[in-house]
Chain A
Amino acid sequence: MLSAIIALAVLAIIFGLALGYAAVRFKVEGDPLVEKIDSLLPQTQCGQCTFPGCRPYAEAIAKGEADINQCPPGGETTIIALADLLGRDPKPLNPENGEEKPKRVAIIDEQVCIGCTLCIQACPVDAILGAAKHMHTVIEQECTGCDLCVPPCPVDCIDMVEIKPTLSTWKWDFPTSLPEDLANLANRIDNTEPAPSHNAHQAPETTAPAKATKAASGGER
């Protein structure tokens, strides 16, 4: 009786020590998932997702507090990348957070600028240079096109200008219509969808419409 108690207690203490050591050795610093999500976000720090920046949004996604469709600057591409990473279904961008726009950059009309520094304080990525009562200007390479500097400007001297594709950035457009075989596949899957969709049937439902929406949205662009 006593030997049984002692034996189990000793065993438990040894295992407890081993686990305690392992807990220190394999300590997870922060959540590595947050890093991966953060690296997929466009880093505009625009706050349109209702979080103060990309990193807080990534943390909220990792905790399951935010949905993956709240990032207008990233648009469809980011949503699909996030859905892939997290194994969830891609869904269209939440219209409450804004709409996907072409990439833009802020330009300050330097003749009009009065040097009030309000836009400098609003800029999340420190892309605006200038000092009080001196003209400001935007470092275009740093500007993420987040629009946050436009509302505070008292003299409306900031314009958001679309970035025209240059020879080095120009890309082929996505095809405007679905390729025939892809469209057929999407139709077939829609039609064969069973009434109560079972778990085993999830794979085709999620992947094929994702491809379809990707191609379709590319066409609108």
Chain B
Amino acid sequence: MKEYFLILLSTVLVNNFVLVQFLGLCPFMGVSRKLETATGMALATTFVLTLSSALSYLVNAYILLPLGLEYLKIIAYILVIAVVVQLTEMFVHKTSPILYRVLGIFLPLITTNCAVLGVALLITRQDYSFMQAVTYGLGASIGFSLVLILFAAMRERITVADVPEVFQGPAIALVTAGLMSLAFMGFSGLD
């Protein structure tokens, strides 16, 4: 039990994928303009990340390793991720057409979210068991969601703040992201 908690803590805070490992930055900047869309994106990515880390673990353990095909893992993982994203897209289209419209191109682009492939590859490298792999994926997605939602909330407040002219727009967003990253680096003392 303790090790699962440690995996969660490490992926959510200490090794946060966005702010410490700098993976998945495009949706982090792209859909964080409104809290609502950020929440939708966070949920969609959480679903994709958790499911794809579980599936890619299974593919690796039961197909690639027994056949000695580890060199195919990137293409196999991409296949898994693309399928999961397609499923998510269909599901979102069916259940929430507005969210589908708002997320727009970023929903299919979860496929190319480097955090998703990164998590799958890191899990392979670390010799986890199945449950550990799922926990790792879940932790990574919770970390991603946490950071994305925090950042979107801050950007919403910044739009009404009196920002100096040179910093307006994406500049202040990037500065904010940098400060958040510094703050998250502070969690490395938790080990």
Interface residues, chain A, CB within 8 Å of chain B? 3-4, 7-8, 10-12, 15, 18-19, 22-23, 26-28, 31-33, 36, 85-87, 192, 194, 198-204
How far apart are A77's CB and chain B's nearest CB, in angstroms?
Answer: 20
Which of A12, A32, A87 touches B79 (beta carbons < 8 Å)?
A: A12
Q: How many A-B residue pairs have CB under 8 A?
A: 84
Interface residues, chain B, CB within 8 Å of chain A? 33-34, 59, 63-64, 67-69, 72, 75-76, 79-80, 83, 86-87, 90-91, 93-94, 97-98, 101-102, 155-156, 158-160, 162, 165, 168-170, 172-173
Chain A residues whose C-beta falls within 8 Å of the C-beta of B59 in the assembled complex: 11
Residue pair A18, B83 in contact (C-beta under 8 Å): yes
Determine the distance from Cα of A23 to Cα of B94 in the docked complex, in whole angstroms. Answer: 10
Cβ-closest chain A residue relative to B87? A22
Chain A residues whose C-beta falls within 8 Å of the C-beta of B173 in the assembled complex: 200
Residue pair B64, A7 in contact (C-beta under 8 Å): yes
A15 touching B97 in the complex, CB below 8 Å, given contacts A199-B169, A200-B159, A200-B168: no
Most buried by A among B59, B69, B94, B170: B94
Determine the distance from Cα of A75 to Cα of B64 in the docked complex, in whole angstroms. Answer: 62
Residue pair B160, A26 in contact (C-beta under 8 Å): no
Residue pair A26, B93 in contact (C-beta under 8 Å): yes
Known contacts A194-B165, A199-B33, A202-B159; 13 further A-B pairs (Cβ under 8 A): A3-B68, A7-B64, A10-B63, A12-B79, A15-B80, A15-B83, A28-B94, A36-B97, A87-B101, A87-B102, A200-B159, A203-B33, A204-B159
Residue pair B169, A201 in contact (C-beta under 8 Å): yes
How far apart are B188's CB and chain A's nearest CB, in angstroms?
Answer: 30
